[in-house]
């Protein structure tokens, strides 16, 4: 693989082929980042994200990796370093959701969810903690559902509560490294996955909850990620709830 001579800041975005991750890829590319778009299985979506990043003004490549597989994650970081010379920003946007009342949830689904959301965040953060350069940032994804306490979301909210805990502790473990660690905790955000299966009445009810009276957009979340990745150097060890004031 050829090594780029680019001096741009370099970002790895897990789950970067769709949803909020895809928007983060485009937003960072517009800031001039070289972006490594991580994806699990859909190469066509990942390739589309790469093309969008390049169109936005950045460099980009797509790299497949299971975020819960520590060997694959190490190889992902290896590729970023070989291609672009190092890693400055890591955005953990990969995740999955399993919804059911606690009493009814299939524990195999719980295991799969925890593997991606908790082990995946841990494995990626482990490599990030070892490799992110000075002046860099690690940005995890928690969820406002840790506060909303909505029935049916116990497994998902528990996994995101774990992400919040990992974030706060890692920020303190990286004392002296000049690397910030924060988590973004979105509320309802209008991705294709979120909108699927919801009728207009449900969406209207959710839009009415925040004082800003709308559902969030992937662009709203990507803007916050870009701030934490770049100018927001004095924000560290925080979970930022991005939900329009719903809580």
One-letter-per-residue 3-state SS of 4-68: CCCCCCEEEEECCCCHHHHHHHHHHHHCCCEEEEEECCCHHHHHHHHHHHHHHCCEEEEEECCCC
Closest to 75 in 3D by CA, of 123, 25, 134: 123
Query: Which tokens sit at 149?
Result: 């306490």
Give the Cα separation of 59 and 9 in Å (integer).
10
Give the Cα separation of 214 and 112 in Å (integer).
32
**How many angstroms separate the Cα of 7 from the Cα of each of 2, 32, 59, 128?**
15, 10, 11, 19
DSSP string across 176-198: TS--EEEEEEE-SB--HHHHTT-
Pick the catalytic residue from 33, 153, 156, 241: 156
Q: How many other C-beta atoms can be found within 10 angstroms of the C-beta atom of residue 32?
A: 13
Active site residue 33: no
One-letter-per-residue 3-state SS of 222-243: HHHHHHHHCCCCCCCCCEEEEC
CB 90 within 8 A of CB 120: no
Active site residues: 156
């Amino acid at each position: 693989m050829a090594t780029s001579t680019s001096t741009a800041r370099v970002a790895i975005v897990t789950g970067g082929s769709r949803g909020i991750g895809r928007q983060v890829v485009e937003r960072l590319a517009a800031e001039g980042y070289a972006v490594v778009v991580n994806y699990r299985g859909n190469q066509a979506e990942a390739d589309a994200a790469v093309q969008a990043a390049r169109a936005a003004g950045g460099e980009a490549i797509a790299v497949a990796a299971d975020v819960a597989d520590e060997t694959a994650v190490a190889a992902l970081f290896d590729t970023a370093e070989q291609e672009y010379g190092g890693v400055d920003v890591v955005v953990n946007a990969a995740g999955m959701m399993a919804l059911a009342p606690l009493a009814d949830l299939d524990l195999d689904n719980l295991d799969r969810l925890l593997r991606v959301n908790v082990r995946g965040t841990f494995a990626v953060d482990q490599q990030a903690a070892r490799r992110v350069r000075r002046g860099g940032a690690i940005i995890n994804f928690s969820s406002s559902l840790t506060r909303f306490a909505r029935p049916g979301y116990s497994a998902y909210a528990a996994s995101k509560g774990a992400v919040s805990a990992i974030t706060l502790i890692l920020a303190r473990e990286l004392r002296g490294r000049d690397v910030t660690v924060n988590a973004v905790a979105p509320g309802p955000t209008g991705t294709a996955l979120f909108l699927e299966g919801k009728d207009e009445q449900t969406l209207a009810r959710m839009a009415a909850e925040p004082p800003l009276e709308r559902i969030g957009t992937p662009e709203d979340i990507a803007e916050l990620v870009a701030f934490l990745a770049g100018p927001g150097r004095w924000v560290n060890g925080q979970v930022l709830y991005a939900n329009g004031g719903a809580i």
